[in-house]
Structure 1
Amino acid sequence: MWHATTFSAGRRLQLNLTLYVADSCSTFTNVSVEYSPEFCGSIRGRLTPQGNLNLDIHLNRTLRQGLRTAITLQQRVGGGYQTLFSYDLDTCRTLGELLQSSLMKVWLRNVFRYGHLPTRCPIQPALYDLRDFRLENYSIPGYLRPGLFRLNDTNYYRRPRGGRRRLVATFTLDIKLYYNGKPDVPPFGPLFGCTFASRSATSLELIA
């Protein structure tokens, strides 16, 4: 948003720019959980009225090297879902490299801000939780357009010689991304965001 601008010969040109920072542009609409009692005593997922995620995990067995995480993001198209991308990661290695840059590590750092979760292997038996978790703007790829999405996170161990997976836990989240107009922020019109939490002003002076 631009404020007063003045200019005359021999005087200063001053531009005041106010930046509006979007706080969030997504909401969770559903959560479901599946887990193996071999590894987990219980897992409870629930959504707040604001569409944020609360999660309680009771891990009753140590998770060691060999644990893998398969993450798939799908978009709702017609009556079904179309896969946008899918990753299959070495969980312990990924946790050990969190400071390096990649989309999956950006997402993990986003998650860790909202709860008490393990950051290294081996992952010890304990109670872990998330509180009021939401997707930060910086963790959402810019190419994702408004729509309905499904994120599936499956944690498992491979069985030798092509055997079936040993499931630890699967989390499925339905997500709504959307535009939201902000009528008191002219002249930009609709912006990609649902709330505007902070504003900052920057001044620039030029000598004419």
Structure 2
Amino acid sequence: MLLLCLLLLHEAPLAHPYKEHLQSTFTNVSVEYSPEFCGSITGWLTPQGNLNLDIHLNRTLRQGLRTAITLQQRVGGGYQTLFSYDLDTCRTLGELLQSSLMKVWLRNVFRYGHLATRCPIQPAHYDLRDFQLENHSIPGYLRPGLFRLNDTNYYRRPRGGRRRLVATFTLDIKFY
């Protein structure tokens, strides 16, 4: 779920060698979830701006799970979208595990907690502790500023029906 969102930040091109690396801090986290799938989800930040999550999944997440990810930059009083993806979560996780470079980034994310790596995602307690974006992994096209990362996990109802929400994570990040 949120794992794909964090990996997309890592997947982007790295900063140019001559450019000094940006630093980052999370400034806000908010979560929304469906009790149909989750017993609870709690997100909080450390005083240093690192991310913590506790996710109690009470239902198996299977094929058909989708993840919609949007990265926005704060411009004036609003947000401008830099990119937006809608992905098949299970297929994308499988593909990421096939890439040797992505495996390295996955190990980096996994060292901060216990997250599912494959589908089906079984009911369990998942967590992330003291997660921070490593300075060398911040994409070179990003400039200092305020950003918002939205990650919505859902199932699409058949024949164009409404989404069945699993969980939404919103992260505000300051790059400096």
TM-score range for the pair, normalised by the shorter chain length: 0.7 to 0.9
Name the CA distance, whole Å, in 2 between partners of 1:138 and 1:58. Answer: 32
1:148 to 133, 137, 146: 146
**4+ runs of 1 displaced by more than 6 Å?**
none
**2: CA distance, partners of 1:56 / 1:116:** 10
Q: Are residues 177 and 101 of structure 1, via their aligned partners in 2, closer, same or farther at CA, if it must alter by over 3 Å?
A: farther
Residues 152 and 107 of structure 1: CA distance in aligned 2, closer, same or farther (over 3 Å): farther
In the TM superposition, what are the counterparts of 1:8-157 in structure 2 within 5 Å? 25-99=23-97, 100=99, 110-157=108-155
Deviation, 1:136, is 1.5
Please tell me whether the aligned partners of residues 21 and 138 of structure 2 are also in contact (alpha carbons under 8 angstroms).
no
| TM-score for both structures, normalised by structure 1 | 0.70
CA distance in 1, matches of 2:69, 2:101: 14
Query: Is the partner of 2:96 in helix, strand or coil?
Result: coil
Equivalent residues, number: 156
Give 1:37's aligned amino acid.
P
SS of alignment partner, residue 161 of structure 1: coil
Could you report, residue by residue, the CA deviation over 1:150-170 in whole angstroms, capped at 9, with x for unpaired residues? Answer: 000100001111111000000
The one-character-per-residue Cα deviations of 1:34-55 (angstroms, maximum 9, x if unpaired) are 0000000000000000000110
Q: Which runs of 5+ in 2 are unaligned?
A: 1-19
**One-letter identity of the residue aligned with 1:157:** Y
Shift of 1:113: 2.7
CA displacement at 1:27 relative to structure 2:
0.1
Alignment check: 8 A CA contact 1:44 1:56 kept? yes
> Structure 1 pair 61/88, CA: closer, same or farther in 2 (3 Å)?
same
Secondary structure of the corresponding residue to residue 109 of structure 2: helix
Q: TM-score, normalised by structure 2?
A: 0.82
Q: Structure 1: 5+ residue runs without aligned partners?
A: 1-21, 179-208
C-alpha distance in structure 2 between counterparts of 1:88 and 1:29, whole Å: 25
On the 8 A contact 1:67/1:156 being kept in 2, the answer is yes
Matched residue, 1:167: 165
5 Å-filtered alignment, 1:176-191, equals 176-178=174-176
- Give the drift of 1:137: 2.5
- The structure with the greater share of residues assigned to strand is 1
**8 Å CA contact retained: 2:21, 2:136:** no
One-letter amino acid of the structure 1 residue matched with residue 127 of structure 2:
D
Cα drift, residue 102 of structure 1: 8.5
Structure with more of its chain in helix, by fraction:
2
Identity among equivalent positions (%) equals: 91
Counterpart amino acid of residue 34 in structure 1: E
